[in-house]
Amino acid sequence: MALTFAATPRTHQDVAPRARGRRGRALRRNLTGWGFAGPATLLVVGLSLFPAVWAFFISRTKWNGIAPATGVGWRNYERIVQDPDAAAAAQHTLVLTVLFVPGSILLGMLIAVALNQKIRFIGFYRTCIFVPYVASAAATGILASFVFNPQFGAANEALRRLGLPTQQFLENPSQALLVICLIALWGEVGFCAVVYLAALQDIPKELVEAAVVDGASRWRVFRHITLPELRPVTVFVAIWQTITAMQLFDLIYTTTRGGPMNSTQTVVYYIYELAFQTQRLGYGAAVAYLLFAVTMLLTLVVIWYSRRSGSEAF
Amino acid sequence: MRRRLPFSPWHLLLMPLALIFVLPLVQMVLTSFMTTQEINQFPPRFIPTSIHLEGYRTLLAESHIVRWFANTVLVSAIAVVSHLVLCSLAGYGFARLRFAGRGVAFLAIVATVMIPIQLLMIPTYLMFARAGIVDTLAAAFVPWLASAFGIFLMRQFFLGLPVELEEAARLDGCGALRTFVSVVLPLARPALATLAVFTLLSSWNDLLWPLVAISDDTKYTLQVGLASFQGTRRTEWSQLMAGNVIATMPLIIAFLVAQRRFIATMTFTGLKG
């Protein structure tokens, strides 16, 4: 890199008066650098770092957005601990994440292995499985409330044909969260499958062939060669899907809006309600900060764990 | 020896899976062409008796769907173009140029990746309210002008390019901008394609932020429009499905047309960086 800026004969520099010398060149270099990086940096930092700091100050106030805010110190954070709604929301988010992340890793891997076979119609299968990822979560939610409609939805019709009892699905407080998790998997697993598929195709063929020559069964090849090779991708998928699950909002908004009986109210949905439905900005910001802390902690744990076990994805 | 099936056993897994993934979308399209009576029939029918445009007609007449569509196209177009320009410039700056404050600036960008949108939406809403752009289309596209993900993606890509070409261009007397535009950018097509696809998908499909920032129903994007339409007509399924078709089909068709590139693009996601 130093070479680029060494005093090699460059025509356009000869035009500039020599008197400006080194300081002039440094200034020019900085201006060029900031000219390139400045606009995007300013936008990103201005629209996230700055608001994030501001959110912290808001989280230490009681404020409805109109009347002047009153400082309450750490009281908002103390209240979260005793807030049953926050606890329920945290629990729903946890359940969702715990079902969704392993679900998308297992399903994604299984589908990728299947899609990696050289059989007929494989292009057609790939298309079918990936298409739902392109559809928006909002549209998926509207479609899902049709498919899972207890009266005339296709899901119950399928159960009827199979001679199984029909269900209330999204209208039943003990099923709704599970159904939402299934819908989210339907919409997102295509992405995981594609990422795994790319990783599978990157595994050197010699590795697998050598094992087969040595008489390893298909399962053992998968267990001892494929699986270890997929580890870095799994770390990536795990982090990506954890963030997706913890931030799931659109799907809930167009299916249950947090109901029935708050059974699908996740942390993210709770923050939205606090801040933009009931105008409790200070408390909402405090809950958001807690969510941020937990997300960060989780991500760091995953990264630390993956570094320790030697499969670096980051 | 095992008896062989006349086809690979993988079909037994893939065929039902493919149906599960695609049938709901097919049903969405078919239902959008049904009448309300047909939809409420028991047992439910899958295929309409003939093509009815009732759902589309009512939707067009009683909502601003054309407006929402235009708004979404505009927001996504601005998002994609701005992302391509600003993030590739910044990515190149961070990868190749030396300037005071580069390290700090890059660190600040990386630090923002972890911040969830839910934390940002309250202060961002307040900021936009003070700037007077709440309830305008600007509120919908300003957060999409650039992203940490985009800068990071482009920087990783540029770091992987060999420097020699750029050095040659410099020696020939090209300035940084000229080198970037005529030497580096043409090499960056795969990365730019990835960035464009991701930005298009996420800006087109975003619901939460425009829902927060826009309340005037002529300024809605498609997703917000659909969600609000759903709120008032929970049972008008042909109209809702018609809206869904209009909102999802442009991206689905784009995907079907450019499938290979699309999937190649998705797998490019910084994974190999």
Q: A70: which strand partners?
A: A62
What is the pLDDT, as a whole number, of residue B165?
Answer: 86
Cα A295 to Cα A285: distance, rounded to the nearest angstrom: 15
More confident residue, B41 or A86: A86
- Report residue A19's pLDDT band, with 50, 70 and 90 as the boundaries: low
- Does any CB of chain A come closer than 8 Å to the CB of residue B166? yes
What is the pLDDT, as a whole number, of residue A2?
Answer: 29
What is the pLDDT, as a whole number, of residue B86?
Answer: 97
For residue B55, pLDDT beyond 70:
yes
For residue A286, pLDDT beyond 90:
yes
Shortest Cα–Cα distance, B138 to chain A (Å): 14
Cα B75 to Cα B83: distance, rounded to the nearest angstrom: 12
Yes or no, beta carbons of A1 and B96 under 8 Å apart = yes
State the average pLDDT over residues B137-165. Answer: 92
Instruction: Compare all CA atoms of chain B with the CA of A3 and give the residue at the minimum distance.
Output: B167
For residue B173, pLDDT beyond 70:
yes
Nearest Cα neighbor of B138 from A35, A276, A47 is A47
At residue A206, what are phi and psi to the nearest 5 degrees? -60, -40
What is the pLDDT, as a whole number, of residue A67?
Answer: 83
The alpha carbon of residue B42 and the mean position of all alpha carbons in its chain are separated, in whole angstroms, by 38
CB contacts under 8 A, A 54-73 vs B, are 54-55, 58, 65
State which of A11-15, A259-263, B92-96 shows the largest mean pLDDT: B92-96
Shortest Cα–Cα distance, A40 to chain B (Å): 5
Lowest mean pLDDT among A22-26, A159-163, B16-20: A22-26
State which of A13-22, A165-174, B18-27 shows the largest mean pLDDT: B18-27
Shortest Cα–Cα distance, B256 to chain A (Å): 8
What is the pLDDT, as a whole number, of residue B146?
Answer: 96
Q: Find the CB nearest A51 among B96, B123, B170.
A: B123
Q: Find the CB nearest A131 among B7, B21, B180.
A: B21
Question: Rounded mean pLDDT of chain B?
Answer: 89
Shortest Cα–Cα distance, B47 to chain A (Å): 12
Instruction: Compare all CA atoms of chain A with the CA of B155 and give the residue at the minimum distance.
Output: A37
Yes or no, beta carbons of B252 and A153 under 8 Å apart = no
For residue A40, pLDDT beyond 90:
yes
Yes or no, beta carbons of B252 and A143 under 8 Å apart = no
- Does any CB of chain A come closer than 8 Å to the CB of residue B175? yes
Q: Domain A75-308 is classified in which CATH homologous superfamily?
A: MetI-like (1.10.3720.10)
Q: Over pLDDT 70: what percentage of chain A? A: 92
What is the pLDDT, as a whole number, of residue A132?
Answer: 95
Nearest Cα neighbor of A243 from A137, A97, A45 is A97
What are the extents of the domains in chain A? Answer: 75-308
Tens digit of each residue's pLDDT (9 = 90 or more) over A96-151: 999 999 999 999 999 999 999 988 888 899 999 999 999 999 999 999 999 999 88
- Report residue A297's pLDDT band, with 50, 70 and 90 as the boundaries: confident
What is the pLDDT, as a whole number, of residue A20?
Answer: 60
At residue A66, what are phi and psi to the nearest 5 degrees? -115, -65
Yes or no, beta carbons of B247 and A136 under 8 Å apart = yes
What is the pLDDT, as a whole number, of residue B268?
Answer: 66
Q: Over pLDDT 70: what percentage of chain B? A: 96
CB contacts under 8 A, B 14-53 vs A, are 14-15, 17-25, 27-28, 31, 39-44, 46
Lowest mean pLDDT among A267-276, B37-46, B96-105, B163-172: B37-46
How far separated are the first and last CA of chain B, in Å rounded?
A: 46
For residue B17, pLDDT beyond 60:
yes
CB A216 within 8 A of CB A129: no
Cα B26 to Cα B18: distance, rounded to the nearest angstrom: 12
- Does any CB of chain A come closer than 8 Å to the CB of residue B76? no
Shortest Cα–Cα distance, A116 to chain B (Å): 10
Contacts of B134 in chain A (CB under 8 A): none
Block residue for tokens 């199984």: A164
Lowest mean pLDDT among A181-190, B77-86, B173-182, B200-209: B173-182
Lowest mean pLDDT among A307-311, B5-9, B23-27: A307-311
- Does any CB of chain B come closer than 8 Å to the CB of residue A275? yes
- Report residue A10's pLDDT band, with 50, 70 and 90 as the boundaries: very low
**Positions of E strands within chain A:** 61-62, 70-71
Contacts of B248 in chain A (CB under 8 A): 134-136, 139
Contacts of A281 in chain B (CB under 8 A): 122
- Report residue B232's pLDDT band, with 50, 70 and 90 as the boundaries: confident
Shortest Cα–Cα distance, A174 to chain B (Å): 22
Yes or no, beta carbons of A135 and B146 under 8 Å apart = no
Question: Which of A136, A140, A171, A242 should one mutate to test binding to chain B, selecting the residue with the greatest count of B CBs within 10 A?
Answer: A136
CB atoms within 10 A of CB A169: 22
Cα B151 to Cα B106: distance, rounded to the nearest angstrom: 9
Q: Find the CB nearest B251 among A119, A134, A194.
A: A134
Q: Find the CB nearest A36 among B90, B173, B226.
A: B90
Nearest Cα neighbor of A145 from A256, A250, A259, A247 is A256
Instruction: Compare all CA atoms of chain B with the CA of A194 and give the residue at the minimum distance.
Output: B267
Cα A192 to Cα A194: distance, rounded to the nearest angstrom: 5
Cα A287 to Cα B118: distance, rounded to the nearest angstrom: 10
ipTM, two decimals, is: 0.90
Contacts of B221 in chain A (CB under 8 A): none
What is the pLDDT, as a whole number, of residue A7?
Answer: 36
- Does any CB of chain B come closer than 8 Å to the CB of residue A194? yes
How many residues are present in chain A? 314
Shortest Cα–Cα distance, B226 to chain A (Å): 8
CB B170 within 8 A of CB A3: no
- Does any CB of chain A come closer than 8 Å to the CB of residue B223? yes
- Does any CB of chain A come closer than 8 Å to the CB of residue B170? yes
Q: What separation in angstroms does the CA of B191 have from each of A192, B90, B92?
A: 20, 14, 12
Longest dimension (CA), chain A: 91
- Does any CB of chain A come closer than 8 Å to the CB of residue B159? no
- Written in H, E and C, the secondary structure of chain B is CCCCCCCCCHHHHHHHHHHHHHHHHHHHHHHHCCCHHHHCCCCCCCCCCCCCCHHHHHHHHHCCHHHHHHHHHHHHHHHHHHHHHHHHHHHHHHHHCCCCCHHHHHHHHHHHCCCCHHHHHHHHHHHHHHHCCCCCHHHHHHHHCCCHHHHHHHHHHHHCCCCHHHHHHHHCCCCHHHHHHHHHHHHHHHHHHHHHHHHHHHHHHCCHHHHHHCCCCCCCCHHHHHHHHHHHCCCCHHHHHHHHHHHHHHHHHHHHHCHHHHHHHHCCCCCCC
Shortest Cα–Cα distance, B53 to chain A (Å): 19
